């Protein structure tokens, strides 16, 4: 089995992202158990090639076992052959908000059990990190992937050559691409300055983008190049006329339409723009759509009338004047 530690700011969306990537890896894989922000996955190591795409996660690894008490943890650890570990090793614990066990000595005691097998310890620079998560249960695993927050911070809007102050966080942009089930390509019909497409490109997914403003298209191109994304196709155009722009269909769409001013909405009423854009996306989509809308727009009703099947909806309160839902739909 595997595990993922997800972020706590949007846990339902983060869990949905994990489930989506497991689905892409294999129809046999699924979420086995949840313990606060710890997800136990019924999956094997082949899923890592997809899980490494995660945006809304701290880390992922191999799940060795769980225990209902500290004594049971030590008993299982003593029965386990730790010879598979790469030396040297270290033990780290994570005490989650729902931790109900006394784990103050768990690193030292578990480390001692493992060291008895002749394995070397190095707390500063280990090659293997044993993770103990304390929640309702105790979970023991070996860390395999760390999702470095510094990488995401470097790609925040103000660190791009061209930026607007209001932009999705790179972690959220990446999650939207993942929720769209994109494997080879993704289209963003409201790309702005390309935040979603940067994350897609860094995952090896070809980025297609549209914006009605030529300066935005040029800015997005500069941003993609700045972050080393080369496989893209950006065009000036209207998101309500996608078939005319590309004359083809796409396997996935991920997009964050504008929410407010007449300038960002190109002088059109917001709900009219959203409806026509959804119709246009439906016309060129052969798979899944990941999209955000303000809560005032009844996206489910409009989308279902067009023909979409609405699968998921995740709520986020951004600030006092903006609340939104992230939707996952399919044709």
What is the pairing mode between strands 232-236 and 206-211? parallel
CA angle 265, 242, 238 (to 5 degrees): 30
**From CA 36, how far away is CA 179, in angstroms rounded?**
21
Peptide bond just before 89 cis, omega within 30 deg: no
| Mean pLDDT of each 10-residue bin along the chain, 331 residues long | 97 98 97 98 98 98 98 98 96 97 96 96 96 98 97 95 89 98 98 97 98 96 98 98 96 93 61 96 98 95 98 92 94 96
Residues 6+ apart with CB under 8 A from 144: 45, 48, 60, 61, 62
Alpha helices (H) in the chain, listed in sequence order: 11-25, 48-51, 70-79, 106-115, 149-154, 170-179, 195-202, 214-226, 242-246, 270-284, 299-306
Element (H, E) at 134: strand 128-134
Beta-bridge mates of residue 42: 30
**From CA 91, how far away is CA 169, in angstroms rounded?**
32
Residues 6+ apart with CB under 8 A from 191: 197, 209, 210, 211, 216, 217, 220, 234, 255
String of DSSP letters for 77-114: HHHS-GGGSPSSEEEEEEE-TT--S--TTHHHHHHHHH
pLDDT at 96: 97
Strand ranges across the sheet with 128-134: 30-35, 38-42, 2-6, 57-67, 138-146, 128-134, 89-95
What pTM was computed for the model? 0.94
pLDDT at 263: 42
**From CA 40, how far away is CA 161, in angstroms rounded?**
40
pLDDT at 167: 87
| Nearest to 257, CA basis, from 219, 306, 297 | 297
pLDDT at 267: 56
pLDDT at 164: 83
As given in the structure block, the two tokens for residue 262 are 């007449």
Give the chain's largest Cα–Cα span. Answer: 71
Radius of gyration of the chain (CA): 22
Find out whether 220 and 160 touch, Cβ atoms under 8 Å.
no
**From CA 203, how far away is CA 184, in angstroms rounded?**
10
- Residue 197, judged by CB atoms within 10 A of its CB (0-12, 13-18, 19+), counts as buried
Residue 210: CA count within 13 A, CB half-sphere: 23
């Amino acid at each position: 089995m595997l595990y993922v530690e997800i972020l706590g700011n949007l846990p339902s969306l983060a869990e949905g992202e994990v489930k989506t990537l497991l689905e892409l890896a294999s129809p046999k894989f699924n979420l086995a158990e949840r313990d606060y922000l710890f997800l136990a996955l019924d999956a094997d190591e082949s899923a890592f090639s997809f899980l490494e795409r995660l945006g809304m996660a701290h880390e992922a690894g191999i799940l060795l076992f769980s225990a209902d008490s500290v004594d049971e943890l030590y008993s299982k650890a003593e029965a386990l052959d730790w010879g598979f570990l790469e030396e040297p090793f270290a033990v780290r614990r994570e005490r989650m908000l729902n931790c109900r066990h006394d784990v103050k000595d768990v690193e030292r005691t578990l480390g001692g059990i493992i060291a008895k097998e002749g394995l070397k310890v190095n707390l500063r620079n280990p090659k293997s990190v044993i993770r103990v998560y304390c929640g309702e249960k105790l979970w023991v695993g070996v860390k395999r992937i760390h999702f470095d927050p510094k990488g995401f911070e470097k790609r925040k809007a103000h660190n791009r050559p061209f930026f607007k102050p209001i932009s999705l966080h790179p972690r959220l942009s990446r999650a939207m691409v993942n929720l769209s089930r994109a494997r080879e390509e993704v289209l963003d019909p409201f790309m702005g300055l390309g935040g979603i497409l940067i994350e897609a490109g860094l995952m090896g997914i070809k980025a297609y983008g549209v914006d009605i403003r030529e300066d935005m298209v040029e800015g997005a191109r500069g941003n993609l190049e700045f972050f080393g994304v080369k496989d893209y196709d950006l065009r000036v155009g209207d998101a309500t006329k996608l078939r005319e722009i590309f004359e083809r269909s796409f396997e996935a769409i991920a997009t964050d339409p504008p929410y407010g001013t007449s300038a960002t909405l190109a002088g059109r009423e917001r709900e009219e723009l959203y409806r026509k854009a959804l119709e246009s996306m439906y016309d060129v989509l052969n798979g899944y759509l990941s999209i955000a809308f303000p809560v005032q727009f009844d996206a489910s009703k409009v989308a279902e009338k067009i023909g979409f099947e609405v699968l998921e909806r995740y709520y986020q309160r951004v600030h006092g004047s903006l609340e939104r839902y992230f939707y996952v739909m399919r044709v």
